[in-house]
Amino acid sequence: MTRHKMGRYFLYRMHPFSVAETLTRKLPDAKRIVRPPAKVKAADFKTLWQHGGYPEPFLKRDTRFSRRWQSLRLQQLVREDIRDLTQIQQIDQLELLVKLLANRSAHQLIYGNMAKEIRVSIDTVRRWVDTLCNLHLGFLVRPWFKNVSRSLRKEPKWFLRDWASIEDTGNKEETFVACHLLKAVEGWNDMGPGRFELGYLRDKEKHEVDFLIVRDGKPWFLAEINSSPRLNIMRNR
């Protein structure tokens, strides 16, 4: 964070390593915030894909270490961070929620179903998911509508911040891209070239587009994930 003249702070959000940081350490130009395509080294992409973007497993590049790190992270989140930073008492039920969410990245959250599975109220599930987002286990992406209240009423999609442990390839690909898009959106907002949002599109017939980037209140581009041997992103401007 940095202090400006009025004594307040500008907050800059931090994210795990991404593809861009394997190519350059420079921030994008303020006039051209989307960089042109560049080829990533196969070894760097493979490491990012297999071990995730958190510094310790990314730099260690050891499968056994990464698995232990992922397991310990979840244990410390539930047994230490939540205990010390929140007033949540039902730790066993919260731990069950964490296990459920670990297997539902890139899926829409149906709060009513989850409440039944862990035997708490829907409002409790909502509060716990918000807490887990604040503690960086994952994040929510909401369907985009011009009517903001309508968007908030719809069930969001859930994404883990660490894609490395996801077994299903399609869910892993979508989560990988979601993490990169969120990092871009929050980075652009912190840099100040506009107001950006990350959402997705879904109509009454349940046709869906994976991601939508909104700039200054207007749709800017779409991203659709195609499962294939190599990750493909289709973008429309």
The full set of domain ranges for the chain reads 2-25+38-236
Average pLDDT, integer, range 104-111: 96
Contact 126, 114 (CB under 8 A): no
Query: Does 12 score more than 90 pLDDT?
Result: no
The Cα angle at residue 55 between residues 232 and 75, in degrees rounded to 5: 100
CA 28 to chain centre: 21
Query: Does 9 score more than 80 pLDDT?
Result: no
Query: Does 123 score more than 60 pLDDT?
Result: yes
Long-range contacts, 200-204 (Cβ 8 Å, 24+): 200/141, 200/142, 200/143, 200/144, 200/157, 201/143, 201/144, 202/143, 202/154
Token pair of 211, please?
Answer: 């991601």
Q: How far is CA 71 from CA 37, 43, 110, 174, 182, in A?
A: 35, 25, 26, 22, 24
Predicted confidence at residue 96, as pLDDT, reads 94
Q: Which amino acid is located at 87 in the chain?
A: Q
Which tops the pLDDT comparison, 6 or 12?
A: 12
3-state helix, strand, coil in the chain (%, to 5): 45, 20, 35
Predicted confidence at residue 3, as pLDDT, reads 53
Confidence of residue 20 (pLDDT cuts 50, 70, 90): very high
What span, in angstroms and rounded, lies between the C-alpha atoms of 15 and 36?
21
Q: How far is CA 88 from CA 80, 116, 160, 198, in A?
A: 12, 19, 21, 29
Query: Does 30 score more than 80 pLDDT?
Result: no
Q: Point out the least confidently predicted range of 30-39, 84-93, 138-147, 188-197.
A: 30-39
Contact 168, 189 (CB under 8 A): no
DSSP class of 168: S
Predicted confidence at residue 233, as pLDDT, reads 42
What span, in angstroms and rounded, lies between the C-alpha atoms of 45 and 114?
34
Token pair of 58, please?
Answer: 């990314």
Contact 212, 203 (CB under 8 A): no
What span, in angstroms and rounded, lies between the C-alpha atoms of 220 and 66?
36
Contact 117, 100 (CB under 8 A): yes
